[in-house]
Amino acid sequence: MPDAEGHPALDEIQLVSVLAALADPLRLEVVQKLMVEADGVERHCTSFGLPVSKSTRSHHFKVLREAGLIKQVDRGNSRMAQLRRSDIESRFPGLLDAVATAPD
């Protein structure tokens, strides 16, 4: 059962949901940008420069969160995003490597 913020537990992260989230080019871009950051780095959701409205951006981050790819935390009046790198790597070994080397 997802936690109060909508993050699924490690054993609830499903490959189909992860792949569906990554199928969107903007969400893939977010994950790829988070992958080049040091482990544990949090980024403000607006820092990705997505060319969409605030509501659409929120939707994309919700999909990533509910798929289990990112963790979002509230910092004052902002939401920060962090890649769940170790969770994804332990659940689906090699997936993030494949995402990192995927052609454009």
pLDDT at 83 over 80: yes
Q: What is the pLDDT of residue 101?
A: 85
The domain of 74 spans 10-92
Half-sphere exposure of 36 (CA within 13 A, CB side): 8
Residue 27 β-bridge partners: none
Please name the residues in contact with 24: beta carbons below 8 A apart, sequence gap of 6 or more.
Answer: 60, 63
pLDDT at 98 over 90: yes
CATH code of the domain containing 48: 1.10.10.10
Rounded to an integer, what is the distance from CA 1 to the centroid of its chain? Answer: 18
Q: What is the pLDDT of residue 3?
A: 77
**Domain presence at residue 25:** yes
Q: Which helix (H) or strand (E) holds 83?
A: strand 78-83
Q: What is the pLDDT of residue 53?
A: 94
pLDDT at 5 over 90: no
Which of 1-10, 74-83, 92-101 has the weakest average pLDDT?
1-10
Rounded to an integer, the average pLDDT of 48-56 is 94
**Domain presence at residue 4:** no
Number of domains present in the structure of the chain: 1
Q: What is the pLDDT of residue 75?
A: 83
Rounded to an integer, the average pLDDT of 59-69 is 97
Please name the residues in contact with 23: beta carbons below 8 A apart, sequence gap of 6 or more.
Answer: none
Tens of pLDDT, residues 8-27: 999 999 999 999 999 999 99
Residue 82 β-bridge partners: 71
